[in-house]
């Protein structure tokens, strides 16, 4: 246990002690962001690959309908 007289400034002592914890939290947050980013990127690629043909078909039919009306 650290003696009260050995630490001149409690806040400085706490900051030095908390530094590794802060680094770890930052690493975890970065990893969490990367995992979420990968997940959403994969989901969006999947959805685009599956529904892009449907979107193109819908656009084609809409244009066909508009040209037939005009």
Per-residue pLDDT tens for 42-63?
Answer: 888 888 888 888 888 888 998 8
Q: Which domain holds residue 36?
A: 1-70
pLDDT at 23: 79
Instruction: Specify burial of residue 25 (Cβ count, 10 A radius: 0-12, 13-18, 19+).
Output: exposed
Domain count, the chain: 1
Q: Is the pTM of this model over 0.85?
A: no
């Amino acid at each position: 246990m650290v003696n009260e007289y050995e630490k001149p400034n409690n806040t400085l002592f706490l900051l030095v002690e908390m530094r590794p914890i802060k680094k770890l939290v930052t690493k975890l947050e970065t990893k969490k962001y990367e995992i979420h980013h990968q997940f959403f990127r994969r989901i969006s690629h999947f959805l685009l690959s599956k529904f892009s043909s449907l979107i193109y078909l819908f656009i084609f039919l809409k244009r066909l309908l508009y040209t037939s009306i005009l």
